[in-house]
Each structure stands twice: as structure tokens, then as C-alpha cells.
Amino acid sequence: MEKPQSVLIDDQAKVYFYPNRTDLTVDAKAVLDDIVKILTTTDNLDVEITGHCAFFGTEKGRQEISVERAENVYNYFLSKGWEPSRKPLLEGRGLQDLITRDPDKQNLNRRVEIRIHSS
């Protein structure tokens, strides 16, 4: 089972995580570094950072890991010099918005989605 590539397309990005992990992969950091360039050079942006998780585990555990993934992305942006004029919307969605229920493709659910909108 191959891990999906993290990707930035237009104003939306997805970064992926290993099972039961919230730390950012090298692949994820590369995409987030591209986003930081946008965030630090453009004013009046609204940012949404939404964490998701795989189908496995308890409801409480899934919620916690999805929130922590979103928070880790936000903290990474801050560590790279982003000083937002408005705090982004941070949300952990747990099992909501699953991409798949297929046990062999849960790697698609272990993600954080970042959306950027000009206000």
C-alpha cells in the first residue's frame, strides 16, 4: 500500500500522515513550505486547517488525532514565520468526511486539508 503524495493545488493542499502519528513527514513539510511562502507574502487571507483520520480506533482517539494533526500544521506555519492577522479555522473532523471505508486504503483518510481564501 503506497502512501499518497502530499500536494498543493491552487488554494488547497492535502498532507498525509502515517498510522497513529501526528508528526509531519518530510513530504508534508515540503508542501507546507510552499504554503508558508504564500501565507507570509499575501495579506488578508482566511485559512482553514482541517484534520482527518483513518477508520480505526475509538471515536475519542480519532477526534484527538485529527485535532492534533491540524494543530501541528498550524504550529509548523508559525514556526516558519507566519504571523496571521486572523487565526485560521482549526478543526478536527475525526471520521467525518471519510474518503474511503476500504480497510486497505485508510492512508487516504490520514490527512490534513488546508484551504486558503482571500478576504
Domains of the chain plus CATH, in order, are 7-11+21-118 (3.30.1330.60)
Can you tell me the mean pLDDT for 73-91? 94
Give the C-alpha separation, 45 to 48, whole Å. Answer: 10
Q: What is the pTM of this model?
A: 0.90
User: Of 19, 18, 39, 42, which is closest to residue 28 (Cα–Cα)?
Assistant: 18
Can you tell me the mean pLDDT for 71-81? 97
Confidence label for 85 from pLDDT (cuts 50, 70 and 90) = confident
